[in-house]
Amino acid sequence: MNPFAIILLLFVIAPLAELYLLISVGARIGALNTIGFTLLTAVIGGYLVRLQGFSTAVRIHETTSRGEIPAVEMIEGAILLICGIMLLLPGFVTDAIGFLFLIPPLRRALIINQLRRKGVIRPPHGNPSRPGQGDVIDGEYDRIEGGEPPKRGPDE
């Protein structure tokens, strides 16, 4: 996508949509209720982001303790930071997107899908029930003690 289109979407269209929804909801349930609901989503969202942030930090520590690179966990941490910002911003669209990315299986599946699509991670080779056996090639061989290898026909 064109970077100019992304900037236009983020700084012009999204705030206008937020403003429209805030005015529409405020007209239906009242201004004070709308403000209260916006503050409530910010508090609940901030609490959930904090809990999931601590959980992600623990998983990063466990992954590095095993000697692995915590790539997915690091991306999850960045997404949680963005979620926290979105949930603190007043508005229903940003809150909906922020709460959507607070669902751990969805967030993780989207991250892994994007990493596979970009070629950063690849699906495992071989039989998944036998880890570490993906590069084994079964075959026959003849040990030759010097000289030419025996001639074989196409049907052998």
Task: Give how many domains the chain has, as a whole number.
Answer: 1
Residue 134 lies in a domain: no
Specify if 86 maps to a domain: yes
Using one digit for the tens of pLDDT, what is the confidence trace for 58-78? Answer: 999 999 999 988 988 999 999
**28 inside domain:** yes
Residue 3 lies inside a defined structural domain of this protein: no
Residue 8: inside a domain, yes or no? no
User: Is 141 a member of any domain?
Assistant: no
Domain annotation covers residue 124: no
Full-prediction pTM beyond 0.85?
Answer: no
Phi-psi region of 126 (alpha: psi -120 to 50; beta: other; left: phi over 0): left
Domain that holds residue 45: 13-117
Question: Of residues 94 and 153, which shows the higher confidence score?
Answer: 94
